[in-house]
Amino acid sequence: MYCKLIAFNGRFMHSCPALFYVRQALDANLPGSRSEIRQQTINDPYYRTLRGIAAGEPAALFFSVYIWNHAYLERLLPDLAELLPATPVVLGGPQAAALARELPVAVAAHCTVVSGEIEGVDKSFYRDLARGGLQRSYSCTKGASFASPYRAADFAGPLSNRHIYYEASRGCPFACTYCLSGADKGVRHLPVSQVLAEVGEILRHKPRVLRFVDRTFNVVPERTLAIWRFLAEQPGDTLFHFEMAPDRFNAEMFRFLEQVGPGRFQFELGVQSTNPDTLAAINRACDLERLRANVTRLAALDTIHIHLDLILGLPHETWKSFRRSFGAVFALAPHHIQMGLLKVLPDTPLSRAVDDYGLEFCKKPPYEILANRWLAGPDLAELFWFSEVVETFYNNRFFRNVWNYLRRSNEDIGAFFAGLQALCRERNFFDLAPTQELMSSLLIELSRGRPDARLLRELLVFDWLRSGHRFLPPHLEGEPLPDWRKKLQRSMPQNLEGVYDYRSRDAFFRQGVFVEFSGQLLQEVGLAAEEQRASVCFQAQREATVFGHSRVLYLAGRADT
């Protein structure tokens, strides 16, 4: 029996572990069957994809259904029914039932929905599949255990050059009303010994990224530390991604994380909101004081990429309270702030409170919020564009010292980004390529008339050169950079201890980029304690930090003029 197992991912680099679990289950329950795994993307050419799936006369087609590929499958399945009218289609995944309800009746008659974990499906499913008599739906019980579904050949085949997804546990300790995971009570952990053995086997194939898909990886600190310690000892440069609860770190975890080098760990920390009424309404318990202390400490390490999530359009969240949530998150100095629209998913507790909360939302996946009792449609639209400005300007390596300065000066950061949003709209920014040059020019324009405009310009110059550039764009350029180099070459000694000697002096000046800054700038970026102008060298070497900015060398004194 020949089955095709198919996923449509958001990007090529993503992978779908569900297909591999289904393959394992088919092999175990239908000996002699053959499964082909096809991982495609929602951006693949449609006709070529349709013909590729239909080729080879498969006995059954299995699809993994999510909100991001629902629309693609809604188009694809009717056409497959035309090409393969006798071929059963099995739909699994969190969006499978919703998709089946929206298909034409004649197409839905060819589809079977499997709800839950494939390890827990009744044995009758395989008997019915083998004899060509599948029912319209099958429910699964929770499997007592599960194991990594990957084989060595997968890493040179369907997993080649992709992120690898691994689950060391199933379930979620939270019961957020907007999430389907909230219905799955409790968390089931694999034995740590099994996790270490399976992850060790995966790491033999040197994946670029290994993403632990556990909903809250740090729910049991001792277990978390055992796995982290194992990972830290492994050779290679694999990046490990974890979804974590920001208020669930202890002292021992911090002591360990202080020893982790850059580029190995990445944390996604769900905040959602700092409004207590909102957190209560969505059933999301969180110790906000511990959250603030923990994230501040994590971000200060600057070796672990810290990604914080906020959700737009939650119950009880007004423009004013969301601005407070954003300001609180910005103050923690994470490397990435994600602000996604609330999605009113079918079959969640939130979807049953539509009238209570006045929820208006898109009728097709991914079901984004349009309005609610606290945010009218135009207000939510403004909030969306506000989030787009933050996404574009903040979530990169370009302006880190600018943001740090605004934090230290107690800027009303909500008002700052609202002003930037208005300027972006006026300059048609969202229709243009968001280059660092364009963004820094808009920040220069925004700073006009401010008492600290000159300092902000210097900070933008500093950040531009720390990003690795060896030139300045016209809106930032003062005296040409080569002139600074020549002046310093004339004034600096033949030997500078710890920096160069007479043999390496020419190479030092040839490889570096040199600028003179004000004492105020040097104080702001932590290079000098006294307010006195001095020169700075931006070197080719990179810092061992999350963003790997160019190393900076403070050169006491001024260039000879």
In terms of Cβ atoms closer than 10 Å to its own Cβ (0-12, 13-18, 19+), residue 450 is exposed
467, part of any domain: no
- Among the three residues 391, 424, 446, which one is the final residue of a domain in this structure? 391
The backbone torsions φ and ψ at residue 271, rounded to the nearest 5 degrees and listed phi first, read: -100, -45
The token pair at 229 is: 């310690």
231 and 277 assigned to the same domain: yes
Q: In 3D, which of 425, 426, 343, 441 has the Cα closest to residue 382?
A: 425
The answer to whether residues 492 and 504 touch, using CB atoms and an 8 Å cutoff, is no
Question: For residue 183, what pLDDT is reported?
Answer: 61
178 and 123 assigned to the same domain: no
Rg of the chain over all Cα atoms, to the nearest angstrom: 27
272 and 310 assigned to the same domain: yes
The residue-averaged pLDDT of 422-446 equals 97
Could you tell me what percent of the chain has a pLDDT over 70?
Answer: 98
92 and 233 assigned to the same domain: no
- Among the three residues 391, 415, 436, which one is the final residue of a domain in this structure? 391
Question: For residue 186, what pLDDT is reported?
Answer: 79
Q: In 3D, which of 224, 228, 168, 221 has the Cα closest to residue 194?
A: 168
Q: Which residue has the tokens 């939302």?
A: 361
Q: In 3D, which of 328, 372, 378, 340 has the Cα closest to residue 353?
A: 372
pLDDT tens readout for residues 100-147: 999 999 999 999 999 999 999 999 999 999 999 999 999 888 766 899
8 and 87 assigned to the same domain: yes
The token pair at 409 is: 């000066």
Specify whether the backbone of 500 is left (phi greater than 0), alpha (psi in -120 to 50) or beta: beta
CA dihedral in degrees (411, 405, 395, 315; nearest 10)?
A: -20
Question: For residue 556, what pLDDT is reported?
Answer: 76
Question: For residue 143, what pLDDT is reported?
Answer: 66
Instruction: Give one DSSP letter per residue of 136-184, joined into a string.
Output: SEEEBPPPS-------GGGGGTTTTTS-EEE-SEEE-S---TT-GGGGS
116 and 176 assigned to the same domain: no
Question: For residue 94, what pLDDT is reported?
Answer: 93
The token pair at 263 is: 């580029």
382 and 276 assigned to the same domain: yes
CATH number at residue 133: 3.40.50.2300
Give the number of residues written for the chain.
561
- Assign 150 a pLDDT band (cuts: 50, 70, 90): very high
Question: For residue 483, what pLDDT is reported?
Answer: 87
pLDDT tens readout for residues 461-479: 999 999 999 999 999 988 8
61, part of any domain: yes
427, part of any domain: no
pLDDT tens readout for residues 271-327: 999 999 999 999 998 999 999 999 999 999 999 999 999 999 999 999 999 999 999
Q: In what order do the strands lie in the sheet with 89-92?
A: 34-41, 2-9, 60-64, 89-92, 111-115, 137-139
The token pair at 508 is: 């030092």
The answer to whether residues 65 and 89 touch, using CB atoms and an 8 Å cutoff, is no
152, part of any domain: no
The residue-averaged pLDDT of 364-373 equals 96
170 and 79 assigned to the same domain: no
pLDDT tens readout for residues 63-87: 999 999 999 999 999 999 999 999 9
- Looking at the chain, the number of H-run helices and the number of E-run strands are 21, 19
457, part of any domain: no
Instruction: Give one DSSP letter per residue of 79-116, joined into a string.
Output: HHHHH-TT--EEEESTTHHHHHHHS-HHHHTTEEEEES
129 and 216 assigned to the same domain: no
- Name the amino acid, one letter, at 187: V
312, part of any domain: yes
**How far is Cα 202 from Cα 221, in angstroms, rounded to an integer?**
23
What is the pLDDT of the chain when averaged over all its residues? 94
**How far is Cα 516 from Cα 510, in angstroms, rounded to an integer?**
17
**How far is Cα 135 from Cα 25, in angstroms, rounded to an integer?**
18
The H or E element that residue 535 is part of is: strand 534-542
236, part of any domain: yes
- Name the amino acid, one letter, at 166: Y
pLDDT tens readout for residues 177-207: 999 876 667 789 999 999 999 999 999 999 9
205 and 334 assigned to the same domain: yes
Question: For residue 531, what pLDDT is reported?
Answer: 75
Question: For residue 561, what pLDDT is reported?
Answer: 41
Question: Does position 559 have pLDDT exceeding 90, yes or no?
Answer: no
- Among the three residues 391, 423, 444, which one is the final residue of a domain in this structure? 391
447, part of any domain: no
**How far is Cα 557 from Cα 559, in angstroms, rounded to an integer?**
7
Global pTM value: 0.94
271 and 344 assigned to the same domain: yes
Question: Does position 560 have pLDDT exceeding 80, yes or no?
Answer: no
Q: Which residue has the tokens 């920040």?
A: 443
The answer to whether residues 318 and 277 touch, using CB atoms and an 8 Å cutoff, is no
* Domains identified in the chain, total number: 3
CATH number at residue 203: 3.80.30.20
Strand 336-341 and strand 187-189: the pairing is unpaired
119 and 190 assigned to the same domain: no
The H or E element that residue 550 is part of is: strand 550-555
Question: For residue 68, what pLDDT is reported?
Answer: 95
Enclosing domain of residue 38? 2-139
